């Protein structure tokens, strides 16, 4: 298996296992199989953080194929967005072809399906975008799962995009694994210069802001975050965010403000507090936050009108609020059951849904919050939600303090100086960094010091880890802010520093 790193401008940087490259086409170069023979890769996994450009890359692969610049040996390429509701209704080769080509005649669909079945998909390329956005049921038992596990179309070229936390179990199946690492420093500077062309004072101010705010600087290798920052920088530079939570809060405030302003014909006061939205917008916002949380619990990011009305009886999607205060996106799609056009909804981005879910949790009674914390705080799927929950509550909620002060906090294995490091502690290392990341979002020094005291006199073991710039910023923040003089030992042996900025 080869491993690669791909940035958002289609530059590829292979890691230490595979050298370096600069073109999308290099993802599809022949690989050496287990038996030593050379073959074209037929299962390629592309991983990356939310908002880093996986969907853009999936579309670019399809675009280059259509222009005969990529995968020219394949007669067919199907680009499938797994977030769409119809995916779980694909149960056969024919329904898969019908879903992919949509407008073709039934005779053509039958002909293509028969050809693909007879050839085991030999001249077919499939791009599955958003593996992390489908339910566990679809991942385990579905026609999509049959394709991924090569029970169907096993001669096809299959490309899958996913968030890394959802696709680790696929690593043993793939021929080539690629990571999109986002913007380099040069990319970001070009992006800023393009956005504020001719505004040198604004460009210099933004560069200075990033240099003096390492938390935001580390987040902005992700194009989505950089785009949000530039939208916010178009206004008052003095109110730019200091944390990830603050960034998404300000972005949501801006989106809701523009929606209400447009709805009211331009007469709307500037929004500075989501909790003080005027009626009826406050009811709509709270219902949308509840929808975000309910959906997160069942790994759902796409909703039909029926599902929205069933989960949130007070949230009615009509033409007047079709985009849900500017936070929802309506998508027309082909319904393979009815043979006609239908519509689904999703939040502007999954990170927006995570913020909304965190906001909803923070409004619940303490006992309910404690129950949710106990069930899902250590689950990877909820990591970003809890990071923003800590930011929203400033780590001062009774529920969070109760959770972290109880026996559950002892989940972290306390290491003595003589402890032998083993692979069994790997998850604890990841959870340790995750907890520190939560605390970066707060200005509550009492909470940070309380957590620091827990580690007092113990080994904080992060050996054998690859630490990205955001991890280093997180660790530095916690060490500086907490009672670092009480820390006995920090084990960074055999650590490597991952470079997402190309440095």
Sort strands 496-497 and 466-467 into parallel, antiparallel or unpaired.
parallel
What is the rounded average pLDDT of the residues 361-366?
96
Q: Is 74 exposed, middle or buried (0-12, 13-18, 19+ CB in 10 A)?
A: middle
Residue 21 main-chain phi, psi, to 5 deg: -150, 165
pLDDT of the residue at 447: 81
Tally of CA atoms within 13 A in the half-sphere of 423 that contains its CB: 0
Phi-psi map region of 144: left, alpha, beta (phi>0 left; psi -120 to 50 alpha): alpha
What is the rounded average pLDDT of the residues 396-405?
84
The total of other beta-carbon atoms located within 10 Å of residue 333's CB is 16
Question: Collapsing DSSP states into helix, strand and coil, what is residue 165?
Answer: helix
pLDDT of the residue at 243: 93
d(CA 154, CA 156): 6
Q: Is 136 exposed, middle or buried (0-12, 13-18, 19+ CB in 10 A)?
A: exposed
The total of other beta-carbon atoms located within 10 Å of residue 347's CB is 24
Range among 49-53, 355-359, 382-386 with highest mean pLDDT value: 355-359
Could you give the percent of the chain with pLDDT greater than 90?
30
The yes-or-no verdict on residue 265 having pLDDT over 50 is yes
The total of other beta-carbon atoms located within 10 Å of residue 228's CB is 25
Q: Which two tokens stand for residue 210?
A: 């990033």
Dump pLDDT digits (tens) for 170-229: 988 888 888 887 888 888 889 999 999 989 999 999 999 998 988 898 888 888 899 999
Q: How far apart are the first and last CA of the chain?
A: 25
Dump pLDDT digits (tens) for 409-463: 444 444 333 443 333 333 466 777 888 889 889 988 888 877 777 666 566 777 7
Confidence of residue 321 (pLDDT cuts 50, 70, 90): low
Which residue reads 């999703």 in tokens?
346
Residue 117 main-chain phi, psi, to 5 deg: -65, -45
pLDDT of the residue at 484: 55
What is the rounded average pLDDT of the residues 287-307?
85
Q: Give the rounded distance of the alpha carbon of 69 from its chain centre.
A: 29
Label residues 266-280 b or e (16+ Cβ within 10 Å = b): eebeebeebeebeee
pLDDT of the residue at 459: 64
Dump pLDDT digits (tens) for 487-503: 555 777 777 765 543 33
d(CA 378, CA 435): 9
Sort strands 496-497 and 2-6 into parallel, antiparallel or unpaired.
unpaired
Q: Which two tokens stand for residue 247?
A: 């960034």
Lowest-confidence range among 28-37, 226-235, 483-492? 483-492
pLDDT of the residue at 16: 29
Which has the higher per-residue pLDDT, 395 or 495? 395
CATH pick for 2-180 out of 3.40.50.720, 3.90.850.10, 3.40.50.300, 3.40.50.1100: 3.40.50.300
What is the rounded average pLDDT of the residues 262-291?
82
Confidence of residue 169 (pLDDT cuts 50, 70, 90): confident
pLDDT of the residue at 214: 85
Do 232 and 244 contact (CB within 8 A), yes or no? no
Which CATH architecture group holds 243-363?
Orthogonal Bundle (1.10)
Do 153 and 116 contact (CB within 8 A), yes or no? yes
Helix or strand run (H / E) with residue 251: helix 244-263
Confidence of residue 317 (pLDDT cuts 50, 70, 90): low
On average, the pLDDT of the chain sits at 80
């Amino acid at each position: 298996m080869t491993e690669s790193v791909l940035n958002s401008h289609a530059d590829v940087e292979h890691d230490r296992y595979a050298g370096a490259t600069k073109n999308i086409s290099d993802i599809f170069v022949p690989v050496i199989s287990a038996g030593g023979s050379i073959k074209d890769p037929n299962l390629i996994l592309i991983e990356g953080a939310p908002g880093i450009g996986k969907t853009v890359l999936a579309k670019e692969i399809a675009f280059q194929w259509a222009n005969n610049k990529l995968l020219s040996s394949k007669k067919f390429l199907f680009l499938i967005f797994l977030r769409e509701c119809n995916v779980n209704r694909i149960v056969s080769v024919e329904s898969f072809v019908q879903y992919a080509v949509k407008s073709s005649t039934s005779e053509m669909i039958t002909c293509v399906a028969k050809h693909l079945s007879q050839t085991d998909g030999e001249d077919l390329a499939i791009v599955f975008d958003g593996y992390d956005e489908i339910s566990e049921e679809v991942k385990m038992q579905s026609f999509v799962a049959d394709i991924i596990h090569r029970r169907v179309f096993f001669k096809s070229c299959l490309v899958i995009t996913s968030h890394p936390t959802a696709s680790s179990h696929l690593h043993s199946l793939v021929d080539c694994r690629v990571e999109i690492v986002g913007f380099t420093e040069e990319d970001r500077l070009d992006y800023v210069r393009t956005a504020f062309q001719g505004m040198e004072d604004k460009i210099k101010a933004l560069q200075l802001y990033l240099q003096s705010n390492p938390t935001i600087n580390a987040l902005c290798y992700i194009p989505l975050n950089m785009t949000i920052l530039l939208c916010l920088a178009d206004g008052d530079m003095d109110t730019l965010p200091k944390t990830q939570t603050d960034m998404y809060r300000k972005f949501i405030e801006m989106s809701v403000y523009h929606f209400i302003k447009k709805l009211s014909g331009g007469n709307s006061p500037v929004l500075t507090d989501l909790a003080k939205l005027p009626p009826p917008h406050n009811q709509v916002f709270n219902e949308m936050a509840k929808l975000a949380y309910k959906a997160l619990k069942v790994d759902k990011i796409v909703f039909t009108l029926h599902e929205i009305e069933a989960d949130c009886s007070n949230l009615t999607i009509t033409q007047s609020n079709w985009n849900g205060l500017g936070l929802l996106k309506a998508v027309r799609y082909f319904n393979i059951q009815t043979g006609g056009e239908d519509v689904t909804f999703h939040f502007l981005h999954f990170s927006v849904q995570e913020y909304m879910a965190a906001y909803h949790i923070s409004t619940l009674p303490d006992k309910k919050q404690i129950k949710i914390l106990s069930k899902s705080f250590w689950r990877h799927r909820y990591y970003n939600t809890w990071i923003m929950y800590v930011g929203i509550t400033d780590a001062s909620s009774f529920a969070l303090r109760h959770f972290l002060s109880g026996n559950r906090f002892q989940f972290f294995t306390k290491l003595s100086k003589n402890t032998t490091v083993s692979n069994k502690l790997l998850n604890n290392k990841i959870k340790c960094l995750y907890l520190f990341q939560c605390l970066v979002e707060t200005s509550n020094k009492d909470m940070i010091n309380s957590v620091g005291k827990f580690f007092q006199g113990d080994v904080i073991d992060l050996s054998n880890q690859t630490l990205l710039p955001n991890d280093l910023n997180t660790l530095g923040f916690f060490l500086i802010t907490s009672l670092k003089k009480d820390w006995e030992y920090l084990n960074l042996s055999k650590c490597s520093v991952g470079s997402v900025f190309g440095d």
